[in-house]
Each structure stands twice: as structure tokens, then as C-alpha cells.
A = this chain, B = another copy of it.
């Protein structure tokens, strides 16, 4: 094992431990992780000694209180965190090749790490994904429409991300599976915790080709506030969010707000104005500017391919239009991060093609003016 691998592994284990000690989205921990290494933060918690952050006064006292909060959970920390990652449960952390870049747009509120159940690559699976969420108390209409649209999206290669709840969430997951597409359930409890209990089989089915994802460590039970905290991850993992049914006070509107705040396309499916389950959808169309969508094609139109806006527009002799690219080149182009650069092996992992193909496509894409070399490898060329 190289020194680098050992260092990464230590930071992974530290982040795993932090998911046991702090609630996701804790602003104190988010702020600490902006400046300190996870292992340093974990050591500080264990030693009951704050690291030097340069902060004083109120901020320092808030950190001290947080430290006390996190320390109360130290007795529950598993002795060997590595053992948790048995039984098909994995961990991915910021900076990993599998870590979806979209999560970093959450800033200090980004997850400390994500627990995964399933073998699919999280980042790759999220590249062409859309979240579809809605009311637990869905109407027959809402469940039908969610299932149909999700199946159509799946048929066309789009991955559905949802919250694994009864109602619209379940209809969306099941529709995606019916459309022979991978789907991702983002839970507000451990990925091994069957909540709702009636969805134990559904989660097992989702994990076969897709993923069950959570910020909470295995074994952790759900709680009311956790669903709301979880919602920002659903919005941030995907290119856009579709609300199928939502009452006026539905938690789905919280996910919708996160999508809007992240600048991702927000869409809503209308329904009968006589149905309370559609009232939230109609309100966000009217007041938040959510796009009124009625079928998969409307949704796909809203979710332009990654890189499409960054790619140069067609100009004779400069660049050939994106539409004319072969499938491999298009996948390689899609795999390039929206910001910064990436090396060929990272791109290969993200595009799901072998290294030789990536190297051939990178040459083609650079020759066509889509990408250029940079310190970190290759990056999208500004128009």
C-alpha cells in the first residue's frame, strides 16, 4: 500500500466516523471541514480539543458546543469502521472519482460522505439523472403518471433519483425499473435500514443495478427532520427535479426549493385543480416559475446535455457540431467535469469506456475545438 493510499484511507475512515458523530448538514462541521482535514477534525473530537481555526468569540463558542454534541455519540462509533463496508455497503467521499461533482455545489452543506448500497458507480449513474419526488399520500392519478413518465425516462437512458418513500417516490422508482433503467433511492436513514418496512424488497431491487444512498451511517433510523436535510442531496445529485404531486405542505416542495436554489431546472406535473395533491405543483408553476411538464419529452427538453452549453457553438473550421460526434466521443465529452479538468483515467472511469478509447476520443475532441489541455489533464473549452 502506497503512502498516498494510506493517507486517503485514513481520511475516508475519518469521514465515515464523522457520519456517525454529526448530523448531516451541521453547519459547524461543514465549516470545520472547509479548513481542516477530516482526520484532524475526528482527532479533535476524540481529544475534546478544538483545532486552531483562527476563529474567536461567538463562532469559537458555537464550535465548542458542537464538539460536545458530537462527543456524546462517540460511544456509538463502531470499533472497526472498515467492517461496516461489508455486505455490499460502500462509502464514497468528496474527491473520490465516484463522488458526483454536483454535490460540491452545496458548499459547506455538502455531505461529509455518502454510504452506498449497490455496485453501480454513483457519479456515472448520476450523469444523466433527474429527481422525481412527490407526495406520500399520492392519488391514483399521481402514482400512475409518475410511473409512466419514469418508465419513459428510463427507456431513454435517464436515471430516476427519488426518496424511496411511499406514494410518488415508489411509483417513480418502480417506473424506472419497469423502464429497465437504474434508479437511485436517497434515504434519510441507514442504507441497510428498511424504512418504510414495506419497501425492503424495493430497495433490494433498486440496489441490483442502481444504488441506495444515504448520508447517515448503516443502522441509523430515520427521523422527521432527516427527511428535510436529505432533500438537498436529491436535488444536488441530479440535473433537474420534477414534482409529480405535492400538497401545499408537502416535503417535496422542500426538494423543489433546493433545486431552484441550486439553479437546476425545476419542473412540476399539473393535475386536476380539484385535487389537493396537485395544489403544490400548481403553486410552484405559478409562483416559483417551475416549468409545467406533462411527459418525458418535456423533461428531457429541459435537461440539456452536460457540456452542451460549455461546448463551442458550430463555426466553420473551428468545431464540428456536437450532434455529429460518435457515441464514444460524446460519452467522453459528457464525462469531462463542468469546471476544472480531469485526467484520462478519471475520464475513462466516468465515461465507462476503456483508456485507449478515451485517448483516441480526447484527440478528436481537442482537434474539433471542444476541449483543451490544462494542468489537471483536459478541460472543456470556453466558447
Contacts and interface: CB of A to CB of B under 8 A. Distances in A.
A56 interface: no
Contacts of A307: none
Nearest to A271: B272
Interface residues of A, number: 20
A298 interface: yes
A295 to B, nearest CB: 7
Contacts of A270: 270-273, 278, 282, 285, 292
Contacts of A272: 141, 145, 270-272
A243 to B, nearest CB: 13
Main secondary structure of the interface of A (DSSP, over half): mixed
A219 to B, nearest CB: 40
A291 interface: yes
- Residue among A144, A282, A294 having the largest count of chain B Cβ atoms under 10 Å: A294
A168 to B, nearest CB: 14
Interface in A114-156: 141, 144-145
Interface string A283-326: 00110000111110010000000000000000000000000000
Nearest to A145: B273
A279 interface: yes
Contact of A273 (B269, B273, B279): B269
B274 A141 contact: yes
Contacts of A144: 274
Contact of A286 (B271, B286, B298): B298
Contacts of A298: 286
A302 to B, nearest CB: 9
Contacts of A271: 270-273
A293 B285 CA distance: 9
Contacts of A293: 286
Interface in A57-108: none
Contact of A145 (B274, B279, B282): B274
Given A273-B294, A282-B294, A292-B292, 9 more contacts: A141-B272, A269-B273, A270-B273, A270-B285, A271-B271, A272-B272, A285-B285, A286-B291, A286-B298
Interface of A: 141, 144-145, 269-274, 278-279, 282, 285-286, 291-295, 298
